[in-house]
Amino acid sequence: MISKLHDYIFCGRVRDWDKTDSYRWAVFVVFLLLLPVFFGRLGENTLLKTDELLHAAMATDILRTGDWFTMHYNGEPTWLKPPLYFWIEAVFFRVFGQSEFWARFPAALAGYATLFLVYAIGEKLYGRKTGFLSMVVLATSFFFLKYSRRAMLDVPVAFATTLGIYALVRGEDDKRYDLLFGLAVAMGYYIKAVQGLYVAVIGPLYLIVSWQWKRLVRPTMLAAYAFAAALIAAWVWPQITTYGLTFIYSQSGISPVIHRGAVQGLHMPFYVPLLILSRVYWPWLPASMVGIYFLFRKGIRERGALMIFTWTGIILLSLMVSSSVFERYMLTAIPALSLCGGIALSRWVKDDKFCEFSRVATVVIIFFVLLGTCTPVPLDRKGHPQADLVKTVNYIIPGDKPILNYRGLDWATMQGLNFYADRYLDKQINSVEDLKKERMERAGELYCIVSSEDFIDIEKSNMKDQVRFMVRTGPYGRSRIQYFLVEILPFTGPDNPHETRT
């Protein structure tokens, strides 16, 4: 073992990967070095106030409600997304406790596992060298790496799609992989509903354009689709029978199809996905474009070319006909483009120079690992600015006392309280008049979260003397916004500026 590792590090006898077994040590070393890239300092920052915090809050609600079948948000049933990612998060929370690290761990694990799949697909289609280089391209695609370290669903969808592609490639020689394809289809739905079903379309289309008609209808492939349908129905059908149209028209149902991804009436030109891809897929966009050119020159009917073009084509086409596209939606296409980048590099890096290249790649990865783990360089932007405040809630406010949010983003406060304080937001208040009404109706203590921007309204009213500051956090960002946790003192008489406070 030491001898083979020595050969790899010092480029001794490694010259032709497809004729020696020394490639295994290169793959082993690189995968080992990539562990801290995907998992190091994963829990350093608080969760982002969009999807990250929402997903962690939904996983927290699984443990609080004890309901593993119907997802909840702030104590109410929700079908924003199917449950697989939240199930995994909840399991890690129960075993290891709630933390940012375990909230992000499933996504990081999916990103890391996608490296194995890209290597295996590249090796099967074009040889070990191309598989290794494709894996290196994916691992150093900063866009993919960034979202692999966030508690979001797009990298897990990319993993499920790549797993289905791997099953299709291996299924040409072994029918047993057809069932793995069915599992990948079901997994895609359970992660992101119809938006995760790319591989369910890619698979049949690839078999059609590659003239593998018999394989399309062979018993194991039919069984794979039946298997996927049964797995999906096991969760979907009870939801339909219990909640009816509420579920059907939800995000876990057909809402993404009906609205075509519309967000607040925004409609984007069809070429927006290509613009996004040209902006985020660096530094490997040029190499991948050259790899696509090589595939065209080799022949579009070639098996690997058909697979990669079908893969990227379905994803890009579905995004082009959508009404709105977020940059993270491109992540499912990144593994396919990484294969194109690996094809280009395998043409440029000759066999007799490949060991030197792999050694340089190893040194570069080591440099970035040391930079990320041994220095305070930020690996991502900081998360929810209210996190420091909501973490103190249970030390200050009794568990039976209501918590209000004054104006601002109620969903952000709701998610923060849910994950960091294991509490629900009682009510959203949008005006001073509503706050006065709550104060008059509630006999006991009343607590409210408010930003420095919104507190100006309270200061201008006759309630400013009935507010007691308890916690302050911030300021955050260029806006210098601060957040306050305040107590609204009980109502004791006529509500006027001269009211006596006890």
Residue 496 predicted with pLDDT over 60: no
Annotate 330-374 with three-state secondary structure.
HHHHHHHHHHHHHHHHHHHCCHHHHHHHHHHHHHHHHHHHHHHHH
Annotate 61-127 with three-state secondary structure.
HHHHHCCCCCCEECCEECCCCCCHHHHHHHHHHHHHCCCHHHHHHHHHHHHHHHHHHHHHHHHHHHC
500 in any annotated domain: no
84 in any annotated domain: yes
DSSP three-state, residue 485: strand
Please say whether the beta carbons of 139 and 145 come within 8 A.
Answer: yes
Q: Are residues 299 and 150 in the same domain?
A: yes
For residue 480, give the CATH number of its domain. Answer: 3.40.190
Question: Would you state the structure tokens that stand for residue 361, as one six-digit string?
Answer: 């790649």
Residue 118: band (very low, low, confident or very high) from pLDDT cuts 50, 70, 90: very high
Residue 188: band (very low, low, confident or very high) from pLDDT cuts 50, 70, 90: very high
Only one residue has tokens 């369910």, namely: 200
Q: Are residues 339 and 434 in the same domain?
A: no
More confident residue, 353 or 240: 240
Residue type for position 139: A
pLDDT at residue number 68: 95
Closest CA relative to residue 358, chosen from 39, 3, 14: 14
DSSP result, 264-312: TTB---TTHHHHHHHHHSTTTHHHHHHHHHHHHHH-TTSHHHHHHHHHH
For residue 64, what are the contacts with CB-CB under 8 A and spacing of at least 6? 72, 75, 422
Only one residue has tokens 């004054």, namely: 406
More confident residue, 300 or 475: 475
**Phi then psi for 475, rounded to 5 degrees?**
-75, 165
Q: Are residues 408 and 321 in the same domain?
A: no
Q: Residue 241: which region, alpha, beta or left (left: phi > 0; alpha: psi -120 to 50)?
A: alpha
pLDDT at residue number 12: 47
Q: Are residues 196 and 339 in the same domain?
A: yes
223 in any annotated domain: yes
Which of the listed residues 320, 349, 374 is the one where a domain comes to its end?
374
Average pLDDT over residues 249-264: 77
Q: Are residues 169 and 204 in the same domain?
A: yes
Residue 332 predicted with pLDDT over 70: yes
Q: Are residues 278 and 366 in the same domain?
A: yes
Residue 476 predicted with pLDDT over 50: yes
DSSP result, 235-255: HHHHHHHHHTHHHHTSTTTTH
Average pLDDT over residues 59-68: 94
Percentage with pLDDT > 90 across the chain: 49
Please say whether the beta carbons of 103 and 55 come within 8 A.
Answer: yes
DSSP three-state, residue 468: strand
More confident residue, 463 or 25: 463
Quick: pLDDT tens for 342-382. 999 999 988 777 777 777 877 888 888 888 888 888 888 88
Closest CA relative to residue 383, chosen from 416, 354, 355, 411: 416
| pTM (global) more than 0.85 | yes
Residue 338 predicted with pLDDT over 80: yes
Cα(90)–Cα(67) distance, rounded to whole angstroms?
Answer: 11
∠ CA 185-187-191, nearest 5°, is: 120
- Counted domains in the chain: 2
Which of the listed residues 374, 402, 418 is the one where a domain comes to its end?
374
Q: Are residues 55 and 118 in the same domain?
A: yes
Residue 3: band (very low, low, confident or very high) from pLDDT cuts 50, 70, 90: low
Inter-helix orientation angle 198-209/177-192, to 10°: 140
88 in any annotated domain: yes
Question: Would you state the structure tokens that stand for residue 90, as one six-digit string?
Answer: 């909840």
153 in any annotated domain: yes
496 in any annotated domain: no
DSSP 47: P
CB neighbourhood size of 398 (10 A): 9
Residue type for position 152: M
* Bond before 283 cis per omega within 30 degrees: yes
**Across 11-15, 18-22, 132-136, least confident range:** 11-15
Q: Are residues 402 and 359 in the same domain?
A: no
473 in any annotated domain: yes
pLDDT at residue number 498: 41
Please say whether the beta carbons of 445 and 487 come within 8 A.
Answer: yes
b/e sequence 166-182, b meaning 16+ C-beta within 10 Å: bbbbbbeeebebbbbbb
Which of the listed residues 344, 374, 404 is the one where a domain comes to its end?
374
Please say whether the beta carbons of 405 and 431 come within 8 A.
Answer: no
DSSP three-state, residue 163: helix
First to last CA, the chain: 78
Report residue 336 CA to chain centroid gap. Answer: 18
pLDDT at residue number 16: 57
Q: Are residues 88 and 175 in the same domain?
A: yes
Q: Are residues 412 and 263 in the same domain?
A: no
Residue 501: band (very low, low, confident or very high) from pLDDT cuts 50, 70, 90: very low
Residue 20: band (very low, low, confident or very high) from pLDDT cuts 50, 70, 90: low
Quick: pLDDT tens for 279-293. 999 899 999 999 999
DSSP three-state, residue 166: helix
Cα(279)–Cα(285) distance, rounded to whole angstroms?
Answer: 9
**Across 211-225, 333-347, 370-384, least confident range:** 370-384
Paired with 2 in beta bridges are none
**Phi then psi for 421, rounded to 5 degrees?**
-120, -5
Residue 7: band (very low, low, confident or very high) from pLDDT cuts 50, 70, 90: low
**Phi then psi for 210, rounded to 5 degrees?**
-95, 10
Give the residue numbers spanning the domain of 188.
18-374
Q: Are residues 186 and 288 in the same domain?
A: yes
Q: Are residues 193 and 150 in the same domain?
A: yes
pLDDT at residue number 497: 44
**Across 6-20, 61-75, 351-365, 434-448, least confident range:** 6-20
- Between strands 76-77 and 72-73, the pairing is antiparallel
What value does the mean pLDDT of the chain take? Answer: 87
pLDDT at residue number 360: 80
